[in-house]
Chains A and B, each alone.
Chain A
Amino acid sequence: MMRFIKPNVSVDFIGKRILAFAFSGALILISVIYLIAHGGPRLGIDFAGGTLYQVQFSGATDAQTIRSALDKIDMKSATVQQYGPSEKHEYLIRTLEPDTNITEHKKKLLAALDAATGLNTSLRRSNMIDSQVGKEFREDAAKALFFALLFITIYISGRFEAKWFSSGVMVGTLLLCIFLVSLFVSSIEVLIIVALVLAVALFWLLNLKYSMGAIVALIHDVLITVGVFSILGKEFSLSIVAALLTIVGYSLNDTIIVYDRIRENVKTQRKDSFKDIINSAINQTLSRTILTSGTTMLVLVALFIWGGDIINGFALTMIIGVAVGTYSSIYVASPILLAWEGKEKK
């Protein structure tokens, strides 16, 4: 049979964990610093509000000419960006102000572009979002991320620890604390950070080690994905948030597979050290891990290359997320278990 991984592979993954921690740490640090320096991720009009026009010209033109047309119709502050493959002659024109009179202005815009470029301009798509609505979308996105993490947390702690009481306590405390904090703080982003920190702390206190490993891996994945995505200069839109949520679900998939194996091995390999158990679990599931990530990557790359520009950002986010997610199941979730073990033994 065809194999990528030999059946009795035995790589010492865990042995290299310090290196991995350093690597992960560096990535997270870079991401966080970049995000703070730029005041958060770049927001598309879904979240920032504004108006977007996707125009197509019947021939070649350049951003300069377009901008001169925009100046004439009082759209000086608009940004112009080429979009898609150059032979399509498509551009994105974006303004920060939501345009409630968009029907009127569209006509003016097309006429002005026609005049300035001497070509035929057609409007492929337009999108106008009021800044208030954009704010609502931001909040909804944050809430979605929050609830996903919450439910998954409940699921993990129930499923893995089989300590439903502990997990019940955890969830109850978490919700209570969040409620209290929300009385003082209204920004939903801050609330989420508080919730995450609290969750990790509670896992620590209640000894829910599998859950903690899983959630730290998830936070790791989301942070790095958002960071890399931002560093690549891409914009956050609603579909990117959908991708992030999917990555949360997917990364957990991976982590669960490894954890399941670890627990199985704990029962069968009673004589081995925890470190060896984890290592063998990872090795045993390695084939499967690489294959699934591999096939998912295959389709995502197909989507990225052939799926068109609109879904491009989504595909890219997923690709980064799947890669980081796979890595984190091996090098973040598992070592945390080991560190815990060490803590327990003392």
Chain B
Amino acid sequence: MRSTPKPLGNGACRGRFYRGFLANPCSVLERKGASQLKDISWKLVLVGVVVLAAIICILPTFKPTLWPYKKINLGLDLQGGMEMRLKVESQKAVKNKIDQLADEIKSELRDKKIRYKKIESTADAKISVIIDGAKDIQDFESYLKDENSDLVESNRLVSDNVLTVQLGFSQENVNDIESKAVEQDLETIRNRIDQFGVSEPIIQRTKGETILVQLPGVKDTERAMELVGKTAMLEFKLVDDTKTASQPNPSSLPPNEEYLDGIGGRRYVVYKKTLLTGEYLTDAEVKINSSTNEVYVSMDFDKKGARIFDEITGAHVGERLAVVLDGKIQTAPNIKERISGGRASITGDYTMEEAHDLAIVLRSGQLWAPLTLEDQQIVGASLGADSIRMGLLSVYIGGILVIAFMALYYKLSGLVADFALVVNILLIAAGMAALQATLTLPGIAGVILTIGMAVDANVLIFERIREELEVGKTPRAALDAGYERATLTILDANVTTLIAALVLFQFGTTTIKGFAVTLSLGVVSSVFTALVLTKVVFDLYFAKRKVKQLSI
């Protein structure tokens, strides 16, 4: 005869925070017979649905062609690859723009035949100007009003027809440039990496003015670094052939000429004025000269750039035009004739790879603010593979040890717990796939930890059941009482681990986040499997038979 268990008073049904569906153990006890089956069946359905959903989430990781769903990402420490954080020196962007502006002003004044004594950019991103002569001062001021009215004047002094003034950007302008600098650099890097061909790169702005770049699986880290760090400032300047041939003393060069190094080691003398910049580029492609088999990069200019190029080449036929990249002359071909098509090419003894990278860098534009490396991690693919192997090995061994122990110690009930454990791992994996989370080595450690801690819930319940059996309750009653009593404690205990995991997630780096994710998923799934899954299994077992003894 099945004894009706004494309805446990409000003592056991306490737990106002956790009432919800978990209070069902109470209601199960208070009814009997067919309604018990009803309760079992909805829980069974729930478990079934969860497990099925989990399997669906998992499959793409093993059979990617099955359907285009998400698979589990591997972190850099398991896949190999490079991760780095680059600081954007946005103040330098301001300085660069001031330098550029100073040059522009100088050449424009010369064009307008306004004489100046000094126009120089200073260290604190201002332009220091000295103009001597009343007419020149007047012309200069009207020039400023026309062309550069947004500049701010400071330390203005006029005495004896000599004007000294400092020009600078307004604070608004400065802030604008600085914030744009980070965005522009981010875009530029993104462009370059996109063309580099790394699958699933991550490029994002992190706190402050730092850009995080993650290149999973990248093998040629040197090329990647080059590509990312290159400023890629493209300028076209005229070469002074006679002086380049005679190589005079640098200090004897006129103020509008300077020495620049070429990539072959030659030193050229060029006119400082930049005739054309990379701003006007619309495209750059790698091409091979069919007759010489030489690799070169062909560049296309936009309309304005094409027009300027047309003017330059038209005005300087017979002279040499230097193509300067980041202050180094790549090539300095002779201008044979006027070029109006807006297309130019850079030759320079490039390998296919070098030309390819150069094209990428030209296409993506210039880095406005230089980048400094804050941190960098490179993990070789072999180490990544080793880490996976060893991580999985310890999961297997740890898992087998725990499974064996549970079966030995708790017999058939132990097997139920083991089944729950396997489902746990399935749920964690599915959770990671669904969340598109990244699995890292600490993440694997999190799985291992979950294996150890998941059984805790089961142990709590089983020990309670054993106690109840000792006191003399029937197996059914002991089972229910065990679950009953242990529920609150299980929830309590796991909440604290969850808190720790959430804090870790908030403050951790990407590898640590991986641990926090698996730990959190593990806690949630182990509570679910311990309280719902195993109960369902037991309930099914008890449903239609009279059980005299519980194998526990």
Contact = CB atoms under 8 A, between A and B. Distances in A.
A297 B453 CA distance: 10
B55 interface: no
Interface stretch (B30-38, B400-408, B537-545): B400-408
Chain B residues touching A, majority SS:
helix
A10 B348 CA distance: 87
Interface stretch (B151-159, B194-202, B380-388, B430-438): B380-388
Contact of B391 (A7, A151, A298, A307): A307
Chain A residues touching B, majority SS:
helix
Given A2-B408, A103-B222, A242-B512, A302 B398 contact: yes
Nearest to A141: B507
Contacts of B492: 159, 256, 260
A296 B452 CA distance: 4
A141 B503 CA distance: 10
Interface in B374-430: 374-380, 382-383, 386-387, 390-391, 393-394, 397-399, 401-402, 405-406, 408-411
Given A245-B503, A292-B453, A308 B489 contact: no
A123 B222 CA distance: 13
Contacts of B372: 100
B501 A249 contact: yes
A1 B411 contact: yes
A299 B77 contact: no
B18 to A, nearest CB: 12
A298 B402 contact: yes
B546 to A, nearest CB: 21
A143 B501 contact: no
Contacts of A133: 85, 374-375
Nearest to A159: B492
A137 B386 CA distance: 27
Contacts of B391: 307-308, 311
A60 B526 CA distance: 46
A151 B503 contact: yes
Contact of A152 (B452, B459, B499): B499
A238 B512 contact: yes
B504 A144 contact: yes
A253 B390 CA distance: 29
Nearest to B455: A295
A113 interface: no
Contact of B441 (A140, A256, A311): A311
Given A2-B409, A147-B506, A288-B459, 10 more contacts: A1-B552, A7-B470, A129-B374, A132-B374, A245-B500, A245-B503, A248-B500, A292-B452, A302-B401, A311-B441
23 contacts: A1-B466, A123-B378, A125-B380, A128-B373, A148-B504, A239-B511, A245-B504, A246-B500, A246-B504, A249-B497, A250-B497, A250-B500, A260-B488, A288-B459, A291-B459, A295-B402, A299-B394, A299-B402, A300-B448, A307-B391, A307-B445, A311-B390, A311-B445
B208 to A, nearest CB: 10
B455 A310 contact: no
A318 B456 contact: no
A103 B499 CA distance: 40
A321 B402 CA distance: 20
B441 A102 contact: no
Given A7-B470, A129-B375, A148 B503 contact: yes
Interface centre among B449, B495, B507, B515 (most CB of A within 10 A): B507
B463 interface: yes
A100 B371 CA distance: 11
A122 interface: yes
Contact of A256 (B376, B382, B442, B489): B489
Interface string B498-533: 111101101111011001100100000000000000
B503 to A, nearest CB: 4
Contacts of A147: 503, 506-507
A72 interface: no
A302 B453 CA distance: 14
A126 interface: yes
A287 interface: yes
A141 B507 CA distance: 7
A300 B402 CA distance: 11
A288 B409 CA distance: 12
B50 to A, nearest CB: 24
A257 interface: yes
B317 interface: no
